[in-house]
A and B are shown apart, each in its own frame.
Chain A
Amino acid sequence: MTSETPRRRPRSRGRRRLGASLKLVGALLLAGFVYTAFAPGLAAQDQLSPTAVEGKQLYENNCISCHGSNAQGVEGRGPSLIGVGAAAVEFQVGTGRMPMARQEAQAPQKPPLWEGEELERVVAAISAYIQELGGGPEVPDNLPALLANADPAVGGELYRINCSSCHAYGGGGGPLSSGSDAPSLLETSERHIYAAMLHGPQNMPVFGDNQLTPEEKADIIAYLQTLQSEETDRGGLFDLGRYGPSTEGMAIFLVGIVALTLASLWIAGKS
């Protein structure tokens, strides 16, 4: 045993403090890494694609107040979006139904918050976010190819069994109970029709690919496209709104009887 332990030269106060703080930082970092390794969810955020990150930004600016953080939904305001898929977002945001202006029986179609290319970008972004967050159905990219091979006659039969009860034979839509409404399909794009069938917005039932295959959906869209074209209204210059006998009855009085009453006034006059 040595009698004399070499005395360490005492460190300066500054160096002591520096060392202490370095140890503190190191301990904190260690704690942080441990936490990160075990904490759930936060790892997913790192795996979001750039488009989805942009989508998350847009989501938090426009949707979070009703649909909650992480799209979990808010009781009494908006349902969870986990599992609704890109199709839902493409439909709801693309047709302007979302963001909803106020709580009401049904989200009405209105001009979307964005326009043109910006709208496409926004829709793609939020779709990517929701899809990556919770999965769900997506509108296929080969829709144009499907449509090229579609048979409108088959689509017509499917339409009349599944769709015309709400959307009417002429595609003009109709009312549902207590203020809800099945909208007109005469101006709807093919992707939006597909998306709506796929995810069943609000009161519309869900027509998954298990029930109506993509080819059958394309058939229905092809049939709707014939309805959307003018040539299915060959009977005259005016189709009276395609509402059927009710507007026809109005027309016979407002046009026919009025014209003939004027004619009788001309021929016979008053006594």
Chain B
Amino acid sequence: MTTTVKPSALTKRKQQLKGLPAATARGMDERLQLADPSVRTLLNKVFPDHWSFLLGEIALWSFVILILTGTFLTLFFEPSMQEVVYDGSYTALRGVEMSAAYASTLDLSFDVRGGLFMRQMHHWAALLFVASIVVHMLRIFFTGAFRKPREINWIIGVLLFWLAFLLGFTGYSLPDDALSGTGLRIAHAIVLAVPVVGTWVAEALFDGPFPGTLIISRFYIIHVFILPLLTAGLIGAHLAIMFKQKHTQWPGPGRTNTNVVGERFFPRYALKQGAFFMMVFAVIALMAGLFQINPVWLFGPYHVAVVSAGSQPDWYVLFLDGSTRLFPAWEIRFSLFNESYTLSPLFWPAVLMPGILTVILLIYPFVEARVRKDHRLHNLLERPRDVPVRTGLGAMGITFFLILTISGANDVLAHAFDISLNAMTWVGRIGLIVLPPIVYWMTHRICLGLQQHDREVLVHGVETGIIRRLPNGRFEEVHQPLAPRGQQLEYTGWVVPKKMNRLGALPPAVRGFFVPIEEPTPPTRPAPELERRSEAEEAGVGGESR
């Protein structure tokens, strides 16, 4: 006779708990069909692997960190221009009249535990955000990833740059300190310089004359709500389109224009993303701890009569500051119907120039497609050397941007290196016109040279560094051929190995970063077959190098 023991209530509960995850999953699936293949596609999606594909992610993770640190800051910041008397711990400003915005920023820096650390993380993350956007944009440009079908993402990207720019500008103006306030006054003058509607737009923005009492509160809502909403939306669109179109990849073995070779998103790629997020966060935290940034207590509150030598905006605005410093004093005054009108010299460098640059960036994919008469879909990247004109134009653009950025800090350079200030301005003016064409020409030549070297190696083989002397006295270098004798190798847009042990897509033979994981193979004499062949050559023509 078998006795069935009824499971006790405790055992039943234990069994229920053990089965809880599965039960939950089944419940969700009944309601949401989570096991559907369309959901599985997201997990199985293939992503190609290259270091340069991670540059855009620096921007993404910086944005996340900005939101996190920014939320902390909003809990303590007071976006009001109401005048208060400072009564916090920083003695060098005690008793000074200042806006509540500035006072609350000082409180964050001195009277909130870890407040200065959060402020600095936020500001470094902002600089990193824009820096990584620029670096990512350069990568997209130089590898041709903006070509069809990705023009939409390119346009979204350019818009994201400007959103990041505005986020940064409104953000660093919030503390209402003397340095950012000077920048705000210049921004006001730039708006005034817009023809016809300038005074009206400035009046609307500031609710009256400069500075008014509302601009900081307006910047606050723009900085914490309107712009982040737009930015998050565009980032979402950017990523969604990238997901849908699948990432581009470098040419290589097994890679075609119609496939993606790499690894699946889940689990490997997702884990790598998580690791990279940690690293971006780590870099921001380390910089926020080691390097002081934006010490607003040294600047004092904004007052219209106060300014400092060496006043600069954040680095991504420096190119506009530079163009404004370099542009000559060309003001156009004219009268029309008995009224006099003025076109300020600020208009050209600060309003028109960035407008033209943005338009050039936005239409570039379409212009290049038309010039190259190439309207096909491209999913394979191009090596910069293979498109010397585009690479040259890009180098020219970088030079232009760099000269303007450096000129934005020309007084700091003049002071640090004992150079005349006037000379720095002239160097900038002349350099801006003369250097970009020179750089274009140089880059173009270098690209052509690299292309030629690639083809040379494909034909003649890899240099081995082994020198042989022929009986007739000539010296020649032994080359390691890439293809069997008689077979021609075509250039396929893929990296050509230039070093002996890097044939194909294989990583270096000796693995390990600090210490070799395995013993390196001992150097060998040229293969016997090679020796016999070269002997035959010597006997025959003699002097034909491989």
Residues of A within 8 A of B (CB): 105, 151-154, 156-157, 160-161, 164-170, 172-179, 181-182, 223, 226-227, 232-253, 255-257, 259-261, 263-265, 267-271
Given contacts A240-B291, A252-B315, A269-B507, contact A257 B131 (CB under 8 A): yes
A251 to B252, CA, bound (A): 36
Given contacts A178-B422, A264-B51, contact A249 B415 (CB under 8 A): no
A179 to B423, CA, bound (A): 9
Given contacts A156-B92, A252-B124, contact A175 B415 (CB under 8 A): yes
Interface contact B91-A152, CB-CB below 8 Å:
yes
Q: Which residues of A contact B128 (CB under 8 A)?
A: 252, 256-257, 260
Task: List the A residue with the shortest CB-CB distance to B120.
Answer: A235
With beta carbons under 8 angstroms apart, the residue of B50, B287, B292 that contacts A268 is: B50
Q: Which residues of B contact A245 (CB under 8 A)?
A: 294, 312-315, 318
Cβ-based interface call for B202 (8 A): no
Interface contact B310-A267, CB-CB below 8 Å:
no
Interface contact A181-B179, CB-CB below 8 Å:
no
Chain B, interface SS category: helix
B65 to chain A, nearest CB (A): 12
Interface contact B276-A236, CB-CB below 8 Å:
no
Interface contact A164-B292, CB-CB below 8 Å:
no
A166 to B306, CA, bound (A): 11
A233 to B425, CA, bound (A): 31
Interface stretch, picked from B296-304, B341-349, B385-393, is: B296-304
A234 to B303, CA, bound (A): 24
Interface contact B52-A253, CB-CB below 8 Å:
no
Interface contact B131-A174, CB-CB below 8 Å:
no
- Further 10 A-B residue pairs, CB within 8 A, beyond A164-B307, A257-B128: A154-B95, A156-B93, A181-B418, A232-B297, A234-B292, A250-B315, A252-B127, A263-B279, A269-B50, A270-B495
Q: Which of B256-292 contact A (CB under 8 A)?
A: 272, 275-276, 279-280, 283-284, 287-292
Interface contact B95-A174, CB-CB below 8 Å:
no
Cβ-based interface call for B416 (8 A): yes
Q: What 1/0 mask marks residues of chain B from 303 to 323 whose CB sits below 8 Å from any chain A CB? A: 101111111111110100000
Interface contact A238-B290, CB-CB below 8 Å:
yes
Q: Which residues of B contact A182 (CB under 8 A)?
A: 309
Cβ-based interface call for B379 (8 A): no
Interface contact B124-A244, CB-CB below 8 Å:
no
A181 to B106, CA, bound (A): 31
A8 to chain B, nearest CB (A): 88
Cβ-based interface call for B352 (8 A): no
Task: List the A residue with the shortest CB-CB distance to B505.
Answer: A271
A242 to B55, CA, bound (A): 29
B187 to chain A, nearest CB (A): 15
Interface stretch, picked from B158-166, B222-230, B406-414, is: B406-414
Interface contact A269-B51, CB-CB below 8 Å:
yes
Q: Which residues of A contact B58 (CB under 8 A)?
A: 257, 260
Interface contact B298-A260, CB-CB below 8 Å:
no
- Please list 23 pairs of residues, one from A and one from B, whose beta carbons are closer than 8 Å in the complex, sorted by A's number: A160-B306, A161-B305, A164-B307, A166-B309, A167-B309, A227-B298, A234-B116, A235-B293, A236-B291, A237-B290, A239-B295, A240-B291, A243-B310, A244-B312, A245-B315, A246-B315, A248-B294, A249-B127, A249-B314, A251-B287, A257-B131, A260-B280, A261-B55
Cβ-based interface call for B250 (8 A): yes
Q: Which residues of B contact A166 (CB under 8 A)?
A: 309
Interface contact B127-A164, CB-CB below 8 Å:
no
Cβ-based interface call for B94 (8 A): yes
Q: Which residues of B contact A151 (CB under 8 A)?
A: 95
Interface contact A157-B96, CB-CB below 8 Å:
yes
Interface contact B315-A249, CB-CB below 8 Å:
yes
Cβ-based interface call for B377 (8 A): no
Q: Which of B225-260 contact A (CB under 8 A)?
A: 249-250, 252
Interface contact A176-B421, CB-CB below 8 Å:
yes
Q: Which residues of B contact A256 (CB under 8 A)?
A: 124, 127-128, 131, 283-284, 287
Interface contact B178-A169, CB-CB below 8 Å:
yes
- List 3 A-B pairs, minimum CB-CB distance, nearest first: A174-B309, A249-B315, A235-B292
A154 to B311, CA, bound (A): 23
Interface contact A260-B416, CB-CB below 8 Å:
no
Interface contact A175-B124, CB-CB below 8 Å:
no
Q: Which residues of B contact A238 (CB under 8 A)?
A: 290-292
A224 to chain B, nearest CB (A): 10
Given contacts A160-B303, A267-B51, contact A248 B315 (CB under 8 A): yes
A151 to B310, CA, bound (A): 26
A44 to B435, CA, bound (A): 65
Task: List the A residue with the shortest CB-CB distance to B54.
Answer: A264
Interface contact A168-B309, CB-CB below 8 Å:
yes
Interface contact B298-A170, CB-CB below 8 Å:
yes
A177 to B288, CA, bound (A): 36
A144 to chain B, nearest CB (A): 20
With beta carbons under 8 angstroms apart, the residue of B53, B279, B415 that contacts A260 is: B279
